[in-house]
Structure 1
Amino acid sequence: MEHYAVIDLGSNSARLAVTKIMDDGTFENVVERKEAVRLSENMGPEKVLKQPAIDRTINALKSFKENFEDLPNVTVKAVATAATRMATNQKDFLAEVKAETGIDLEVIPGTKEAYYDYLGVINSLPIVNGIIMDTGGASTELILVQNKRIINLISLPIGSVTLSESDVIEDRPSAGQMYKVFDQLNEIYNNIWWLYRGTNLPIIGLGGSNRTLAKIKRRNDPDRKHWDDIHGFHLSAQEVKDIFLKIIDSTLEERKNIPGLSKERADIIVGGLAPAMSLIWRLNSDRMIFSKQGLRFGVLYEHISELRNNGKSTSINLENFEAPESDE
């Protein structure tokens, strides 16, 4: 028996999942935690992690550690994504985390992040064809899936925090601000040559911003008892558009009172949903499907697969997949 703790340090949130893996390969989740750390806050064009964000992150990691340090036979896998990946003071940050928490953070490239997203989705939902989209605080991953296999993937250096900070859309966004955001996204998508192959396919939404769409809709369901159970939940493209319209037509204070939209995300939700909205229009997708199992569970599924195969790696070669220069 093994306890496997996965820490996913993103640009906006830090997440923990602890899983008990039995000797026969079965497993059960025993701990799930999330803390909003805003690690990418105010990084600016110089791409420097700021001390307030670093302090929030270290406090969250210390809190996470309390959930697994006393468990028997614990293995820890801690990965850091976009904010840490692009930070010019990455080395100092990793050293400070190690000194303060004892946790070794592994900075993974965007293509690896996208691959883990794929593993999390494909092992937990009956997805055959679609575009997996994980919108985080400072990056967005896109994965084209056909016949359950990865065809192409890419990590883009845009996310809910970076789009919101660069285009100042904290309060009710103006038409000019929205035009600027969607024009930027259009240019980015134009440069992904394979994206047209996702035309008319569903979008599988990962990340807190995308999942907020499902949570808002579920809060309006007659049975609200399990409103946050959105794994596998579907929304039509029109339902997504209606929710987005309500969000952009609200002030910051009004957004904080929308059921299903957390107050801590209200200031970045417009920027966080813009990539998905732009993709829906471009691909003429008729629906979004939502997944609660992304990177953390992808790491878990890879580990379990390796255990079942006596330690043989099951990872695919990502060298031929696209990644923007900023991921290097």
Structure 2
Amino acid sequence: MENLVVIDLGSNSVRMTISEIDGDGNHKTIEQVKRYVRLSENMGEERLLQPAAIERTLAALGEFKAIYSKLKNPDIQAVATAAVRQASNQKQFLKLVKDQFDLSFTVISGAQEARYDYLGVINTLPVVNGLLVDTGGASSELILVQNRQMKHVVSIPLGSVTLSQAYLESDMVKSDSLFAAMTFVNNVFNDVWWLREATNLPVIGLGGANRTLAKINRRRKNFLNFEDVHGYKLTADDVYATLTQLLGLDLAGRKKVPGLSKDRADIIVGGLIPVTLLMRLLDSRQITFSNAGLRDGILFNRINEIKNDAKD
């Protein structure tokens, strides 16, 4: 039995999933932990990870270590994404983590992140054709799936935290700020040459902002387990109506929206702009949500390795 510990250090949150895997590749999740750390907060044009964000992250990693250090021979796979990928003080930060926790992070590329997203989705949802959209804190990954195969992929440097900080007010969002943010995102999408191949295809939403969109709607429709969004579907009209609702609220009002975490209330508008514009651009009428993403992709990648080793 192998204890696989996957730590995903993102721009807004750091998450850990611990799974038991047997020799046949069967697996069971035994622990999931998430902490909001806002690692990409106030990085600025210098792309510097800030002391307060680093301290929050170190505190979370300390909590994680207290959990996984109790396991026998854990296989720890720790990956860092956009915030660390873009940081000019990346080496100093990773050394600090290594010195303090004896924990080595692999900084993965946007393409690697997208591949893990694809593996997580394709192994848990019956997706044949569609556009996977993973909106993170500082980057978004787009993956075109055709006949269950990954055809095109791109990672673009915009996310819920970075868009919100660059363009939007944390309280009541002004119309000119919203227009500037949407124009910027539209221009980025227009530079993705293959994106029109996804016209009329369903969208599959990953990442905290997109999952929050699902949770808000599940709470509104009185689902008992509103956080269980895997496989949940919404129409484009539901998506547009939800963003319209949020734009009509100030920060205090957004914090009271059922299904929306108070920790995400100041960045949720920025987080929903990419998926909303994509659905309009591609005339996509439906979005399906996935709880499985990067960490699950790493898990399935490891399971495939175990199965291949068993064949040899």
TM-score (norm 2): 0.98
Matched residues in 2 for 1:101 and 1:29: separation? 24
RMSD: 1.0
Q: Corresponding residue for 1:316?
A: none
Q: How many residues align?
A: 311
Q: Corresponding residue for 1:70?
A: 70
Q: Corresponding residue for 1:310?
A: 309
Q: Corresponding residue for 1:281?
A: 280
Whether contact under 8 Å (1:169, 1:270) holds in the other structure is no
Matched residues in 2 for 1:217 and 1:86: separation? 33
**What's the offset of the Cα at 1:225?**
2.4
Matched residues in 2 for 1:133 and 1:65: separation? 31
Which segments of 5 or more consecutive residues in structure 2 lack a partner in the other structure? none
SS at match of 1:66: helix
1:1-328 superposed matches below 5 A:
1-222=1-222, 224-310=223-309
SS at match of 1:244: helix
Render the CA deviation track for 1:193-238: whole Å, top value 9, x for unaligned.
000000001110001101111100111223x421111100000000
Matched residues in 2 for 1:311 and 1:160: separation? 42
SS at match of 2:34: strand
Whether contact under 8 Å (1:84, 1:90) holds in the other structure is yes
Which segments of 5 or more consecutive residues in structure 1 lack a partner in the other structure? 313-328
* Percent of residue pairs bearing the same amino acid type: 49
Q: Corresponding residue for 1:325?
A: none
Q: Corresponding residue for 1:321?
A: none
Matched residues in 1 for 2:264 and 2:210: separation? 11
Render the CA deviation track for 1:17-71: whole Å, top value 9, x for unaligned.
0000012221100000100000000000000001110011011011011221111
Matched residues in 2 for 1:24 and 1:181: separation? 48
Matched residues in 1 for 2:12 and 2:98: separation? 20
Structure 2 counterpart of 1:271, one-letter code: G
TM-score (norm 1): 0.93
Matched residues in 2 for 1:171 and 1:146: separation? 40
Render the CA deviation track for 1:50-96: whole Å, top value 9, x for unaligned.
11100110110110112211112310000000000000000000000
**What's the offset of the Cα at 1:311?**
8.4
Render the CA deviation track for 1:81-120: whole Å, top value 9, x for unaligned.
0000000000000000111111101100010001100000
Matched residues in 2 for 1:156 and 1:78: separation? 22
Runs of 4+ in structure 1 deviating by more than 4 angstroms, as ranges, are: none
Compare 46-55 and 68-77 and name the one that shifted more. 68-77
- Change in 2 beyond 3 A, CA 1:311/1:135: farther
SS at match of 2:169: coil
Structure 1 counterpart of 2:130, one-letter code: G
Structure 1 counterpart of 2:13, one-letter code: S
Structure 2 counterpart of 1:307, one-letter code: I
